[in-house]
Amino acid sequence: MTSPWEYSDFDDHEGLHLFRDPAAGLTAVVAIHSTALGPAAGGVRFWHYADRVDAITDALRLSRGMSFKNAMAGLPMGGGKGVILADAVRRKTPELLAAFGRAVDSLGGRYVTAEDVGMSVEDLVAIARETKYVSGLPVGEGRAGGDPGPYTAKGVFLGVRAAIRRALGKESAAGVHVAIQGVGSVGGGLARLLAADGAKLTLADMDRGRAERLAAELGAQTVAASEILGVEADVVSPCALGAILDAQSIAALKTPVVAGGANNQLATLADGDRLHARGILYAPDYVINAGGIINVGLEYLGQGDRAEVEARIAHIPARLEQVWDESVATGDPAATVADRIAMRLIGRA
Ligand code: NAD
């Protein structure tokens, strides 16, 4: 049995909390990576894991990513992540959600939860009956907050345009070919924004029907999910699950740019080196996909309206430029540079 200290993804996390409520069917993990900049913010994932070690590993990795993301987004928030271990049929009951709410509440505000894979706005509303340490709740017209997906998509769109400008010297996506892996909340929103900007799109989703319906609406092409990372295009945009960039997939890439919304795209940091060695411009995931956390972070802090959210999302391209400039100046891969800047910001340089 591996002790938490021996997990390769343990990075001096401030806390790792395990919760059990058998009567409610709850088994959950909350990892708090850092509260140096403020309460540890990050969504809760509802997922069926092969075993508990995988769940803890996911919470450790994702919470560290949230520390980096929140710091780079300029939010006064640290990084944390919740993981609820779903059973094989992914039964999500009111009792389970209430028990998770009590678990979050017991941390006294050190961790603030929100939506992640497998969790809806309605689920967060149920959790919020037990704790005030929640964001991503329905909000009034014009207020910051609510579903983070469209805001993440907007930030990724602006980041893709910045990458296009840098790598291809073009001011818009008109005529630029973008291959999108995963057309759910983020990838679907991105596809719509790119289509409106005149991009040529190739779409893929594990749910082939979903990709085909969107392609019909936007006049795009589709390919099988297994082929999307090898499409010959200007940009490949990973917007599905993580760890999809590894030695094999990077060797097969036929695009000068990788810029997409998925979390933890690199299987390992060495894959950031591989992209760099191939001369591929990479937009570090937690820099480009911060739009959603900016939205729910400002909601939690009670600090803003939609105009403020949009203004902060508009800074994402400048942060990417900072990373790419430092990458050119130092010769280090963009992924390494982004980690270095983020660690500096949270006082762990
Ligand atoms: P989603 O569930 O709405 O959509 C994901 C889509 O990807 C689904 O349609 C699914 O069928 C598809 N998919 C899964 N594996 C695939 C594969 N191998 N090939 C092709 N398609 C595949 O999720 P989402 O909210 O759009 O999130 C997508 C990614 O963006 C995740 O990595 C998530 O962690 C990250 N992210 C989301 C947000 C947000 O605000 N929703 C914020 C930051 C990061």
Residues 290, 156: Cα–Cα separation, whole Å: 8
Round to the nearest angstrom and report the end-to-end CA distance of the chain. Answer: 32
Domain boundary among 65, 97, 127: 127
Domain boundary among 127, 161, 179: 127
* 205 CA to centre of ligand 1 in angstroms: 9
| Whether residue 81 is found in the same domain as residue 188 | no
Is residue 106 a part of any domain in this protein? yes
| Whether residue 167 is found in the same domain as residue 251 | yes
User: Coil, helix or strand for 32?
Assistant: strand
Which of 261, 265, 241 has the alpha carbon at shortest distance from 253?
265
User: Coil, helix or strand for 228?
Assistant: helix
Ligand 1 pocket, residues with Cβ under 6 angstroms = 117, 148-149, 152, 181-187, 204-207, 210, 225, 239-242, 261-263, 289, 292
Buried b / exposed e along 305-339 (16+ C-beta atoms within 10 A):
bbeebbebbeebbebbeebbebbeeeebbbbbbbb
| Whether residue 234 is found in the same domain as residue 325 | yes
| Whether residue 244 is found in the same domain as residue 113 | no
| Whether residue 208 is found in the same domain as residue 328 | yes
Q: Within 13 Å and on the Cβ side, how many CA atoms surround 339?
A: 15
* 8 CA to centre of ligand 1 in angstroms: 25
pLDDT tens string, the chain, 349 residues long: the values are: 578 788 989 999 999 999 999 999 999 999 999 999 999 999 999 999 999 999 999 999 999 999 999 999 999 999 999 999 999 888 999 999 999 999 999 999 999 999 888 899 999 999 999 999 999 999 988 999 888 899 999 999 999 999 999 999 999 999 999 999 999 999 999 999 999 999 999 999 999 999 999 999 999 999 999 999 999 999 999 999 889 999 999 999 999 999 999 999 999 999 999 999 999 999 999 999 999 999 999 999 998 899 999 999 999 999 999 999 999 999 999 999 999 999 999 998 7
Residues 349, 344: Cα–Cα separation, whole Å: 5
Is residue 294 a part of any domain in this protein? no
| Whether residue 198 is found in the same domain as residue 79 | no
Is residue 283 a part of any domain in this protein? yes
Ligand 1 nearest-atom number relative to CA 69: 43
Is residue 295 a part of any domain in this protein? no
Is residue 170 annotated as part of the catalytic site, yes or no?
Answer: no
* 23 CA to centre of ligand 1 in angstroms: 31
**Residue 159, annotated ligand binder?**
no
Instruction: Name the region of 111 (left: φ>0; alpha: ψ -120 to 50; beta: rest).
Output: beta
Ligand 1: which residue has its CA nearest to atom 1? 184
Choosing from 69, 81, 92, 200, which is the catalytic residue? Answer: 81
| Whether residue 25 is found in the same domain as residue 61 | yes
Which of 100, 2, 3 has the alpha carbon at shortest distance from 45?
100
Query: The domain that contains 11 carries what CATH number?
Result: 3.40.50.10860
Tell me which residue has tokens 């996911």. Answer: 58
Query: The domain that contains 211 carries what CATH number?
Result: 3.40.50.720
Is residue 215 a part of any domain in this protein? yes
pTM of the predicted protein model? 0.94
**Residue 182, annotated ligand binder?**
yes
Domain tally for the chain? 2
Contacts of 269 (CB under 8 A, 6+ apart): 335, 336, 339
* Domain membership of residue 227 as a residue range: 149-289+317-345
Ligand 1: which residue has its CA nearest to atom 30? 262
Buried b / exposed e along 22-34 (16+ C-beta atoms within 10 A):
eebbbbbbbbbbb
CB 198 within 8 A of CB 177: no
Is residue 301 a part of any domain in this protein? no
User: Which residues on neighbouring strands pair with residue 200, listed in sequence order?
Assistant: 177
| Whether residue 157 is found in the same domain as residue 267 | yes
Pocket test for ligand 1, best of 44, 63, 81, 117 (most atoms within 8 A of CB): 117
Ligand 1: which residue has its CA nearest to atom 9? 184
Pocket test for ligand 1, best of 83, 156, 223, 241 (most atoms within 8 A of CB): 241
| Whether residue 337 is found in the same domain as residue 189 | yes
| Whether residue 11 is found in the same domain as residue 67 | yes
| Whether residue 219 is found in the same domain as residue 120 | no
* 347 CA to centre of ligand 1 in angstroms: 31
| Whether residue 191 is found in the same domain as residue 339 | yes
Ligand 1 nearest-atom number relative to CA 261: 30
Is residue 133 a part of any domain in this protein? no
* 114 CA to centre of ligand 1 in angstroms: 16
**Residue 79, annotated ligand binder?**
no
CB 192 within 8 A of CB 215: no
Ligand 1: which residue has its CA nearest to atom 33? 262
At 60, list the tokens: 């450790």
**Residue 187, annotated ligand binder?**
yes
Is residue 85 a part of any domain in this protein? yes
Domain boundary among 78, 95, 127: 127
Pocket test for ligand 1, best of 202, 236, 239, 316 (most atoms within 8 A of CB): 239
User: Coil, helix or strand for 275?
Assistant: helix
